[in-house]
Structure 1
């Protein structure tokens, strides 16, 4: 299954590659950073259209096929984005990246949950692979800029890795999807939307939005925020995102271990969301204290990007074990709404100031904490009853 995780290392590139090249892309397209931010929102549009479809298909078709479709779409995105000067074509490429993301998720998450007997600790490692990609890419972008090399090489590296992984996955045969009996499906359907479970479903869908928005908001604006508000150098500003990624990678292994030994998922979700909120508050107030900004970026990555979104999805899958693919699609459908709306909202706020655009993420962090707190209380009440 190493190839599945390598796909998410590449996806780590895809998540932030446009944001990390915003200035270079605006120069290449002869447009403003605001327009580049709007192009980035196309990723959310692609996810929005694709997630429910790919989620349903994952419960019906061969999941390896979906994964290959996702890889092909990402390859076209990587090559197409740096070979076009047309904003409309660039927006279409961003939409295609969103489709790629949804196809990979729909094929990969249910597969990993099923091979681990219904447990979700394997999906947490997906976040580790993504974080590794998010750590490497800013360093690559900064290195290219420092040596005045073409920014498009970062996209070409992404495309090359996809080609390598296609060859890696060719001989691998995926296990058939575990089928449930008709009786089990009927029982699951009858219980699926009754009483407090309706509220739990709504809260988890909302968390699909907030947990994705929290990470996207941070990764899109932290570099420019550090440069324009804290007046950091190019390397120091990009370094904050790399530290965020290091924190995420460390958090993934900690969370993986805690879930493996049976730690309560709700305790982890509440605690990590609270820590993310507090670290973001300190970071925004860090000012010129580079060491403090570095430390808070590390802690924010540890808490907000350690796999809490994937853990939330695991909780959701446990509510509907007969429809893991569809649940994955629905959960990330709301995440895709975040991918679409965050660049639009933050881009509009940036007209006032970059500081305002970045600081608004505090509202998202607070909402994620409250959602998990309420969900835990309702779930505990449901178990008691």
Structure 2
């Protein structure tokens, strides 16, 4: 909701800050800045001090953002608050993802994918809240106060309850289990920080870039290259979102029976094939709708959360650190990919660029699966 709330209220905020809509939207970039500068630090500290304090810190910092933005008087203050929101996002990432893996050790992938479902729900609901307030002629500030109220409720819950396991004890148990699994499979190979860590960091960048490219240019690609009507081109985003939601729900169910490592290469291959077909056959509106659905399913339906869970299997003693590195790579992708889009220019060539990115992602996922099999002697369940 942090990013979307700025986009949805850009005109009102521009008036509040005495600037243009473009100037108001510049505050969105501040969230990326705050996220990048804070992810690694909060990941290290999360491993040291535990998950619960960082969940609480993330909630409190986001509350400051929502209330502060509402009453800020200029863009400078708003930009500072945007950086705080990015930091809050980092606090929550390094608290929630590792925390869920430790609370539900037998359903790590499922729990992280369900977290993705709640993220998607927030992204889905907020535009309806904003448009509903506008239609009723109500103050736009309620769209800030509603998330703020939810944050207060969750903060109080974690203040008086919400037990978290001891992170260090869980890490020790995970390391012991990993050594036992390698011994049972006669594997002498250990996870390699540089090799395995690099593969996952590349994956974090590549897959964020993959679905970011598609999500940002679907409508424009449909109109310019597919020669679709404006309404049909806009509907591609809806099909993309629907695919993402259905994949989240399906993976949450199947994740109880199938290991996360089996999903990652399959979903990555599906994303590559779907984007390739979208580049090859852009003129069919019907096919484009199906492919938009499939790209949303394979690329934005929780595969990054699954890959993060697999990375935690490789490095069980540092779930917060690996979360920090993994999502820092994704944040860098979100920052750099718009630059590539502007540099390439032509939408068809941008889609071809995404095909290449997705292919690299599949190769990388295959290498991760090979390393996993060598490390644990199998590809999970």
TM-score, length-scaled by structure 1 = 0.77
**Aligned partners of 1:289, 1:336: CA distance in 2, in Å?**
33
**Aligned partners of 1:143, 1:73: CA distance in 2, in Å?**
27
- The residue that corresponds to 1:60 in the other structure is 48
| Displacement after TM superposition at 1:341 (Å) | 2.2
Per-residue CA deviation, residues 124-143 of structure 1 (Å, 9 max, x unaligned), is: 11111112222223445666
**Aligned partners of 1:355, 1:17: CA distance in 2, in Å?**
31
**Aligned partners of 1:337, 1:363: CA distance in 2, in Å?**
18
Gaps of 5+ in 2: 183-188
- The residue that corresponds to 1:308 in the other structure is 303
Matches within 5 A, 1:101-180: 101-117=89-105, 119-120=107-108, 121-140=110-129, 154-180=143-169
Contact between 1:141 and 1:151, CA under 8 Å: does it hold in 2? yes
Aligned mate of 2:372, from 351, 366, 379:
379
Tell me, what secondary structure is at the counterpart of 2:105?
Answer: coil
Are 1:254 and 2:250 counterparts? yes
- The residue that corresponds to 1:6 in the other structure is none
Tell me, what secondary structure is at the counterpart of 1:59?
Answer: helix
**Aligned partners of 1:112, 1:380: CA distance in 2, in Å?**
25
Are 1:241 and 2:237 counterparts? yes
Tell me, what secondary structure is at the counterpart of 1:49?
Answer: helix
Aligned mate of 2:354, from 354, 361, 364:
361
Per-residue CA deviation, residues 335-377 of structure 1 (Å, 9 max, x unaligned), is: 222233234444x348x45666666433432222221022223
**Aligned partners of 1:149, 1:233: CA distance in 2, in Å?**
30
Answer 1 or 2: higher relative contact order, Cα 8 Å, separation at least 6.
Answer: 1
**Aligned partners of 1:39, 1:355: CA distance in 2, in Å?**
30
Query: Size of the alignment, in residue pairs?
Result: 366
**Aligned partners of 1:222, 1:37: CA distance in 2, in Å?**
21
**Aligned partners of 2:276, 2:123: CA distance in 1, in Å?**
22
Matches within 5 A, 1:1-385: 13-18=1-6, 29-30=19-20, 32=22, 39-81=27-69, 86-117=74-105, 119-120=107-108, 121-140=110-129, 154-180=143-169, 198-222=194-218, 233=230, 239-261=235-257, 263-283=258-278, 290-346=285-341, 348-349=342-343, 352=345, 360-383=353-376
**Cα RMSD for the two superposed structures:** 4.1
| Displacement after TM superposition at 1:44 (Å) | 2.5
Larger radius of gyration: 2
Gaps of 5+ in 1: 1-12
**Aligned partners of 1:25, 1:181: CA distance in 2, in Å?**
45
**Aligned partners of 1:179, 1:381: CA distance in 2, in Å?**
26
| Displacement after TM superposition at 1:303 (Å) | 1.0
**Aligned partners of 1:146, 1:333: CA distance in 2, in Å?**
38
Tell me, what secondary structure is at the counterpart of 1:179?
Answer: helix
**Aligned partners of 2:166, 2:92: CA distance in 1, in Å?**
16
**Aligned partners of 2:273, 2:171: CA distance in 1, in Å?**
47
| Displacement after TM superposition at 1:233 (Å) | 4.7
Q: 1:37 to 1:293 in 2, by over 3 A?
A: farther
Contact between 2:39 and 2:325, CA under 8 Å: does it hold in 1? yes
- The residue that corresponds to 1:4 in the other structure is none
Tell me, what secondary structure is at the counterpart of 2:90?
Answer: helix
Per-residue CA deviation, residues 243-271 of structure 1 (Å, 9 max, x unaligned), is: 3333222212222233211x243332111
Q: 1:280 to 1:158 in 2, by over 3 A?
A: farther
Per-residue CA deviation, residues 76-113 of structure 1 (Å, 9 max, x unaligned), is: 33344565575544443332222111101111112211
Contact between 1:135 and 1:243, CA under 8 Å: does it hold in 2? no
